[in-house]
Structure 1
Amino acid sequence: MSFFTTTLVLFILCLQNVLAGAPSKIYGVNLGSWLVLESWMLPQEWLDMGGELNCDCSTCIGSEFNFVKAYPDTADAIFDKHWSTWFTQDDVNILAGAGINTVRIPLGYWIVEPLVNRQTEFYPRGGIKQLKRGLRQLQDAGIMAILDHHAPPGAQSVNQMFAGQCTPTPQFYTDYNYHRALVWTAVMTSLSHLDPDFANVFSIEAVNEPIMDAAQTPGYGDFQQNFVRTVRAIELVLGIPVPGASPITSSLSSSNFTSALTSASKLTPSSSSPSSIANIFTPEVQAALTEAIPILIQMGIELAIPAIFDLHAGSAPFHSIRDPLVTNFMDVNWQSDSPPNPADAAIGPQGYDNHLYYVFGGVADPTPEAYMTSICNLDRVQTDAAVGNSPLWFGEWGLPTQFDATDEFLVDWADAQKLAYAKGAGWIFWNFKVEISDLAGDLAREWSYEEGLRRGYMTQNPAQVHNPHVCDPYIANGTSTS
């Protein structure tokens, strides 16, 4: 690699430091199976709740959708107990003590309850209050948050518990469900800026792990554009400066946010209006804003968020100049078959996410040496930067392997992955914890950050590794390509 190319790559990677509000380097964990439950991670609790295991999750009680369909009268209370016990103040204390500065919180679209068609869709209610509770606890501990739209309407992946509904025919990639996802985005962006409990949210991820073949995700590129526009439209209405977008002031004639949003949803950019305003307040975005208004009014009352009705009320974070949120997408290299580049959608700060799991195959031969050679020469950060997908963080990774790994190997495996991912904007381990039970067996050994700390695979300071030279024997030609 030439000096010029090296300098250029380093310059691009340093752009991560301009993401105001984000940690300069992300050291994080996912709070998986909290507000989007995946039964494989807590098999005994799932059985105790009334679910089923080792079955076709599209037909048995193997997903949140089928659970609530089977237990419509009791599901809300059962899930509320799970939410209250799966993530607690004790967990926050563990994260803070371990030096974790970021959590990625998987969310389903059903956390915005009015978006759910209760005649045909079945999901638990009450999660938004639990999210507020958890964010406040994390904020008090100085931990930042990414709100991850892990399970958008219609399900984005085939037969996956993480989509909330196991289905062989995902329906997310339709105009109807894209639109519902934009309404969700408008609501969550508004809460992130107006609810003090959300003040530690610095990023919203548009959709977790879309189908990897872009030919099967029609309209996804347009959705990326509209997702960013929706976030920036809310911020412009609030008067939050967005790099690359001209401010608007006429819609803020009222201190009532929903009134200002109503004005913005009717905005008709003229030929003399800045092109950025005309580009952001498109008919699709304005329709999403319009549908978000009654939802926000309802939430403002139920969740006691005075700033929704009066921007000068209380101590809402809006009163100090808020930074624009970091819009977040899976990187362009997540998909094949001529995918849209999310970098083309960027207005203001944007980050990119990649998930790398060796255990599912297709990355390296199933041997310790092949794994180490692969990760120590990883070039994903540079490859993404070359197409504008920077800063890049690795939002999911873990220690699972396709072979029986020794404890010694897992120490090296954790070190090597941390070193590789830290060359980007940072990393977020999947998962913070999994169930410890006879039924779960030794699942926590490779999937739980908490257990990895206890066993010594992870260092107590996440910025450190046991052996900074762990990759030296594996780097090609003595020069790293990663």
Structure 2
Amino acid sequence: MLSKFTTTALIALSGAWVAESRPAESSTTPARNSRRWLPGSDKIRGVNLGSHFIIEKWMAGDEWNTMGCGDTNDEWSCVQALGQDAADIKNLGLNTVRIPVGFWINEDLVNDGEYYPKGGLEYLDYIVGNCTEAGLYVIMDLHGGPGVQTPNQQFTGHSVSTPGFYTADNYERAYKFLEWMTERVHTNSAYYNVGMIEVINEPVQSGSYPSEAADMIANYYPTAWSRIRAREDQLSVTDSNRVHIQMMATAWGSGDPSSSLTDQTFAAYDDHRYLKWDTSVTATQEGYISAACSDNRGGDDIIIGEWSISVADDVQYNAEFDIKDTDANNAWYKDFWAAQAQAFERSGGWIFWSWKCNYEISGFNEWRWCCQSAAAAGIIPQDASSAASISPCS
């Protein structure tokens, strides 16, 4: 099972954005942070808690095998193979800025015949409470939606060929999740620093699923918005303390997320930027640095919620990019990290994917996806705000 790590280590490495604070409500209640977006304040700088509440087999091979999941491909098939009790989540506790969770962490929303792990909520409470105590800003990300929002992806918790999320019944389950999480944010002291809720991660794109993407833009996004705000109204939440509501940015390819919204107060947008998979980028050291330095993803309401320093599959192990040859390439990877981070700070900031992973190549720790091990290797600086000062971009 995945182990807990100290809050202190993450604070030093993430430098996560926190809005202006206000006095504690009582001597026993942690100081709350205003959830109001402050465009002139520090940028968001952080990491994802990837593969901890939704385990992705490729990132956690040893743990996957230890749990007895063997050749299964995702959480659904693992639970189905083991039986529910053996697959319940145990001892997961990591701090981060963006916390990807599946809808099934609210077990009341799981239907009969769905195989999802149980028991994660108490560990989520533990992690979010630590973030609040540490003063870290938290984005709660609905990473795995009811019915599966994207085909053939482990991050959904159930890798299937056809996405089933885009139905009235599954939308309703997602709305109930968002209402439940909104209430938790405003009534549970551990969640005081959750300032943003992402309503769905990486949905289908218009090019592959035009009707599903259009329906999400026209119906799911505006209804998710109104259900969150209505629950806040019921709880008498003040305007300045409302959560930000985050949707995938236009650049994701599902359409304009704001086109059917009647209000955009405290709206935020999530942009995932993996140069590794951008076929327009020349896959050389010079090509990647040039692409990173010229990147501009949009304004302060856009957060680059996922990115890495990995490069294209067909070149990642050659001499130019081999991470085992540290003398030759470490300096370049430092530049690559800094160039991307600097570019993303032209927008609202960035959240690296991911904090920690168990991923090796030929016995060597693959740190291009892993903030903790990249920092230990000296690739990512201890001061996450230093990108501009060390970037190779002119």
Specify the TM-score bucket, using the shorter chain as the normaliser.
Answer: 0.7 to 0.9
What is the correspondence of 1:350-361 to structure 2 with a 5 Å cutoff?
350-361=267-278
Amino acid paired to 2:343: A
Partner AA of 2:106 in structure 1: V
Structure-2 separation of matches of 1:439 and 1:376: 29
Q: Which residue of 2 aligns with 1:419?
A: 342
Secondary structure class of the residue paired with 1:80 = coil
CA distance in 2, matches of 1:140, 1:19: 16
Aligned to 2:85: 74
Alpha-carbon separation, structure 1, partners of 2:372 and 2:333? 14
* Superimposed CA distance per residue, residues 59-92 of structure 1 (whole angstroms, 9 cap, x where no aligned partner): xx11100111111243344x214x2xxx35xxx5
Amino acid at match of 2:368: E
Secondary structure, aligned partner of 1:219: helix
Contact 1:459 1:466 in 2 (8 A): no
For residue 362 of structure 1, give the secondary structure of its aligned residue in structure 2. coil
Identity over aligned pairs, percent: 30
Q: Tell me the equivalent position of 2:311.
A: 401
Letter matched to residue 220 of structure 2:
F
Shift of 1:220: 0.2
1:107 to 75, 92, 101: 101
Q: Measure, in 1, the Cα distance between the counterparts of 2:37 and 2:248.
A: 20
Task: Give, in angstroms, the shift of residue 360 of structure 1.
Answer: 2.4
Unaligned runs of 5+ in 1: 1-15, 54-60, 93-101, 243-321, 473-482
Describe the shift of the 1:181–1:469 C-alpha distance in structure 2 as closer, same or farther (beyond 3 A). closer
Matching residue's letter, 2:130? Q
CA contact under 8 A between 1:220 and 1:340: conserved in structure 2? no
Normalising by the residue count of structure 2, what TM-score does the alignment of the two structures yield?
0.82
Structure 1 residues 21 and 159: alpha-carbon distance in aligned structure 2, compared to 1, 3 A threshold: same
Structure 1 residue 234 and structure 2 residue 231: aligned? Answer: yes
CA contact (8 A) 1:434 1:443 kept: no
Matching of residue 341 in structure 1 with residue 257 in structure 2: yes
Residues 113-139 of structure 1: per-residue CA shift (max 9 Å, x gap): 111012x21101111111001111121
Equivalent-residue separation in structure 2 for 1:466 and 1:449 (angstroms): 18
Distance 1:154 1:441 in 2: 37
Secondary structure class of the residue paired with 1:217: helix
Amino acid corresponding to residue 241 of structure 1 in structure 2: T
Deviation of 1:342 after TM superposition, in Å, equals 2.5
Determine whether 1:36 maps to 2:54: yes
1:121 and 2:114 aligned: yes
1:272-421 map, 5 Å: 323-335=241-253, 339-342=255-258, 344-345=260-261, 346-381=263-298, 385=299, 390-402=300-312, 403-404=315-316, 405=321, 406-421=329-344
Looking at CA atoms only, which structure, 1 or 2, has the larger radius of gyration?
1
Counterpart AA for 2:215: G
- Residue 344 of structure 1 deviates from its aligned partner by 4.3
Tell me the amino acid that sits aligned with residue 258 of structure 2.
Answer: P
Deviations 1:239-292 (A, max 9, x none): 2233xxxxxxxxxxxxxxxxxxxxxxxxxxxxxxxxxxxxxxxxxxxxxxxxxx
Point out the structure with the larger helix share.
1
Q: CA separation in 2, counterparts of 1:343 and 1:149?
A: 21
CA-CA distance at 1:469 after TM superposition: 5.1
Q: Distance in 1 between matches of 2:119 and 2:243?
A: 25
Whether 1:454 aligns to 2:370 is no
Amino acid at match of 1:117: N
**2:221, 2:235 → 1: CA distance?**
22
Checking the alignment, whether the CA contact within 8 Å between 1:112 and 1:184 is kept in structure 2 is yes
Say if 2:367 is the partner of 1:445.
Answer: yes
Deviation at 1:343, TM superposition (A): 5.8
For the residues of structure 2 that align with 1:424 and 1:415, how far apart are their CA atoms?
A: 15
Counterpart position of 1:431 = 354
Deviates further, 448-457 or 182-191: 448-457
Of 183-192 and 350-359, more deviation after overlay is shown by: 350-359
Amino acid at match of 1:70: A
Equivalent AA in structure 2 for residue 37 of structure 1: I
Q: How many residues align?
A: 343
- The code of the aligned residue for 1:342 comes to S
Query: Gaps (5+ residues) in structure 2?
Result: 1-18, 21-33, 322-328
Q: Is the Cα contact below 8 Å between 2:306 and 2:350 reproduced in 1? A: yes
Shift of 1:458: 1.1
1:24 offset after TM fit, Å? 3.7
